[in-house]
């Protein structure tokens, strides 16, 4: 499950980002967060906007089912799970003023088998196809990275990943009215709300127990891998020295990255030949492609590349570009623009 990382340190989810295994966070976004933790006020000094807190159905349902998954895991092992949210950390020896540290908040560890970690996860039946056969160590790369990070930090020998599989995705359950609601420390209810009225409710444990009875609860034992730990430390060190100590920003990878580091675009810039070609390709793809598919991804990548280029230029402010950024080709023709719409949202537009 998700947990709050120790400020300024590399946690399991951050490790996955550094190793390029986290599809939910870019390296640029992680860098912003860590720089702000270590050097307060850093983003404001650069004119950058901080990434928003992550809040989505998957996160909400994952948090709501933490205790239920522990109960199922305890029953299956005939053992208690202790040290919930226990903090472990290590420091990398170095001559830098700010020493690299890596940490983890564990979901827990078994009491009798004290060298075994517990890690609880939720997923949907749709996403469960990315997992291997239960009883093996074939979990997703993202989770494998998190687990190896935890084993490295704690020094323990093994982790049992317990996963509860939902027949539907959390966002589908929420569309039907089912919403997790937090009432007290560690206490959640799942409530079905229609027209602002609660028409049904249950506990996550009752829900999870029914899922388990239908064979939607599985476990994956994963042993510590010292060779993987060495490679992870190498990547952590490379990231820390280059991006934290030397303060060199990673390349923005997404349109959201660009919008955070380029929040007030104004002026006119002249594009080079490569950017002109990309702008032509962006417009030729067209708006009819929808929000998904390879063409949509290509268009998003082009947009990010163009804006990452122009944000480093020295713009000239004229009458047309006092409130937005205008991109022109070598002939002076407008090939794109970037500015706020009526709702204050930053929008990139191709050729008119």
Q: Residues with Cβ < 8 Å from 224, sequence gap 6 or more?
A: 148, 151, 152, 156, 157, 158
Please say whether the beta carbons of 295 and 289 come within 8 A.
yes
Q: Convert 325-349 to b/e letters by CB count within 10 Å (16 or more is b).
A: bbbbbeeeebbbbbbeeeeeebebb
Per-residue pLDDT, 92 = 75
Pick from 252, 232, 243: which is nearest to 104 by CA? 232
DSSP state of 321: G
Q: How far apart are the first and last CA of the chain?
A: 46
Can you give the pLDDT at residue 318?
85
Euclidean distance between CA atoms 307 and 304, whole angstroms = 5
Beta-bridge partners for 110: 81
Tens-digit pLDDT string for the chain (352 aa): 444 556 789 999 999 999 999 988 999 999 999 999 999 999 999 999 999 988 899 999 999 999 999 999 999 999 999 999 899 998 876 555 567 888 999 999 999 988 999 999 999 999 998 899 999 999 999 999 999 999 999 999 999 999 999 999 999 999 999 999 988 766 899 999 999 999 999 999 999 999 999 999 999 999 999 999 999 999 999 999 999 999 999 999 999 999 999 998 999 999 999 999 999 999 888 755 655 678 888 889 999 999 999 999 888 998 888 889 999 999 999 999 999 988 889 999 988 7
Write down the domain spans for the chain.
Answer: 12-245, 255-349
Q: Indicate the class that CATH gives domain 12-245.
A: alpha beta
Residue 297 has a pLDDT of: 86
Contact 109, 158 (CB under 8 A): no
Question: What would the two tokens of residue 309 be?
Answer: 């280029």
Tell me the HSE value of 189 on the side-chain side, using a 13 A CA sphere.
Answer: 10
Predicted local distance difference test score (pLDDT) of residue 269: 94
Confidence at residue 1, expressed as pLDDT on a 0 to 100 scale = 43
**CA 18 centroid distance within chain:** 11
Predicted TM-score (pTM) of the model is 0.88
Concatenated DSSP letters of 5-35: PPTTSB-HHHHHHHTT--TT--HHHHHHHHH
């Amino acid at each position: 499950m998700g947990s709050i990382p120790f400020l300024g340190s590399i946690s399991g989810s951050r490790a996955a980002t550094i190793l390029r295994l986290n599809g939910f966070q870019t390296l640029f976004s992680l860098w912003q967060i860590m720089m702000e933790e270590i050097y307060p006020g850093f983003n404001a000094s650069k004119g950058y906007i901080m990434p928003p807190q992550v809040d989505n159905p998957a996160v909400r349902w994952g948090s709501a089912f933490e205790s239920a998954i522990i109960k199922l895991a305890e029953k299956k092992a005939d053992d208690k799970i202790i040290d919930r949210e226990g903090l472990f950390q290590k420091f990398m020896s170095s001559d830098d003023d700010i020493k690299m540290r890596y940490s983890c908040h564990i979901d827990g560890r078994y009491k009798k088998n004290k060298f075994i970690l517990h890690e609880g996860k939720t997923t949907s039946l749709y996403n469960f196809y990315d997992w291997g056969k239960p009883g093996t160590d074939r979990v997703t790369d993202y989770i494998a990275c998190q687990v190896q990070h935890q084993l490295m930090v704690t020094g323990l020998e093994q982790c049992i990943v317990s996963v509860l599989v939902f027949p539907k995705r959390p966002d589908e359950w929420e569309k039907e009215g089912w919403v997790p609601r937090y009432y007290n420390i560690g206490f959640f209810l799942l409530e079905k709300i229609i027209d602002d009225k609660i028409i049904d409710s249950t506990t996550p444990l009752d829900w999870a127990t029914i899922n388990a009875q239908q064979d939607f609860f599985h476990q994956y034992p994963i042993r510590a891998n010292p060779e993987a730990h060495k490679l992870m430390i190498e990547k952590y060190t490379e990231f820390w020295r280059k991006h934290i100590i030397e303060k060199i920003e990673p390349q923005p990878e997404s349109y959201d990255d660009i919008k955070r580091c380029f929040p007030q675009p104004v002026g006119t810039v002249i594009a080079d030949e490569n950017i002109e070609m990309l702008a032509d390709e962006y417009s030729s793809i067209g708006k009819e492609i929808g929000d998904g598919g390879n063409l949509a991804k290509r268009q998003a990548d082009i947009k990010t590349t163009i804006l990452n280029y122009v944000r480093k230029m020295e713009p000239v402010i004229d009458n047309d570009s006092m409130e937005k950024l205008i991109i022109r080709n070598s002939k002076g023709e407008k090939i794109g623009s970037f500015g706020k719409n009526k709702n204050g949202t930053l929008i990139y537009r191709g050729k008119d």
